[in-house]
Amino acid sequence: MSDLLAHAEDIWLAIAPGLPGFTVEILPTVDSTNSELMRRARGGLMEPVLLAADEQTAGRGRMGKGWHSQAGQSLTFSLAMPLAPSDWSGLSLAVGVSLAEALHPEVKLKWPNDLWFQGRKLGGILVETAHMGQGVGAQRLVVAGIGINMARPAAASLPVVESALTPVAPAGLAELAMGQTAGETLECVAPALVRDILMFERMGFTAFAQRFAQRDALAGIPVQLSDGTQGTAQGVDGKGALQVKTDRGVVAVTSSEVSVRPC
């Protein structure tokens, strides 16, 4: 029995009473947990499910970036839930807040979708949605995909990234919770993530704004946007847009417009 599978029943028991129809599925290998759940949604399966894989061969990150995972070296899973918030703005930030708080007090959030430890990437988040039907009866499914490094990746296997705040080698959860397995980590973060997504549905990003500010890794530091604009990050607004103070004034940046790199 795999480590993830050994924790599946306890995860289901913690979540199912508050989320009717919820299931937990563990696969030995899959191309991408997000891709698999999106395929199912397009086929009409809109029930809540947590899908985790021991190995992910073609994982996807934001803006088309890959995320390959090997058994025991990382935790990769996706959570699908039918959702109908009045405003979807800031959902990926709320997911990040939930994960960071459940993982460790020292885990920070690099806007818009990275988990950081000591200025190094610990994990990533990809939020997608699928639609079913039209009009009043239409359903919308959110799929939140998460990848967390368990072991610290070897620097030799990674591309060189030059940045004062982004050293070559990402972080691994083993630096914070030595001996903690991927299954134990999933059992720790999944129930809190479900509760927080349901809270987001009721209250929107307002319920997470202060919590995000306490974990904001970019607040007060110089940043450069993908279009070359430079400035200083000044937190996020009420909808989760990054506020960057530039020579032209404060610019509100949304995740669909740019990526952010520390100068």
Beta strands in the chain (DSSP E): 23-30, 49-60, 66-69, 74-82, 108-110, 114-117, 120-132, 139-149, 222-225, 230-236, 242-246, 249-253, 260-262
Mean of per-residue pLDDT scores for the chain: 88
Q: Using CA atoms, how far apart are residues 70 and 75, in angstroms rounded to an integer?
A: 9
Predicted pLDDT of residue 63: 46
Cβ atoms within 10 Å of 252's Cβ, excluding its own: 12
- In the structure encoding, which two tokens stand for residue 200, read together? 């987001």
Q: Which CATH code, of 3.40.50.620, 3.30.750.24, 3.30.930.10, 3.40.50.2300, is assigned to 3-213?
A: 3.30.930.10
Average pLDDT over residues 32-60: 92
Q: What is the pLDDT of residues 240-253, one digit of tens each?
A: 999 999 999 999 99
Pinpoint the residues of the chain covered by CATH 2.30.30: 222-262
Predicted pLDDT of residue 157: 46
Q: Using CA atoms, how far apart are residues 95 and 197, in angstroms rounded to an integer?
A: 7
**What pLDDT band is residue 260 in, cutting at 50, 70 and 90?**
confident
Q: Using CA atoms, how far apart are residues 120 and 30, in angstroms rounded to an integer?
A: 27
| pLDDT above 90 as % of the chain | 76
**Looking at the domain that runs over 222-262, which CATH code has it been given?**
2.30.30
Average pLDDT over residues 157-175: 63
Judge whether residue 180 has pLDDT over 50.
yes
Q: Using CA atoms, how far apart are residues 240 and 122, in angstroms rounded to an integer?
A: 21
3-state secondary structure 64-106: HCEEEECCCCEEEEEEEEECCCCCCCCHHHHHHHHHHHHHCCC
Q: Using CA atoms, how far apart are residues 31 and 69, in angstroms rounded to an integer?
A: 10
Residue (of 51, 53, 81, 76) closest to 66 by Cα position: 76
Judge whether residue 211 has pLDDT over 70.
yes
Q: What is the pLDDT of residues 123-165, one digit of tens each?
A: 999 999 998 766 655 679 999 999 999 987 665 444 444 444 4
**What pLDDT band is residue 82 in, cutting at 50, 70 and 90?**
very high
Pinpoint the residues of the chain covered by CATH 3.30.930.10: 3-213
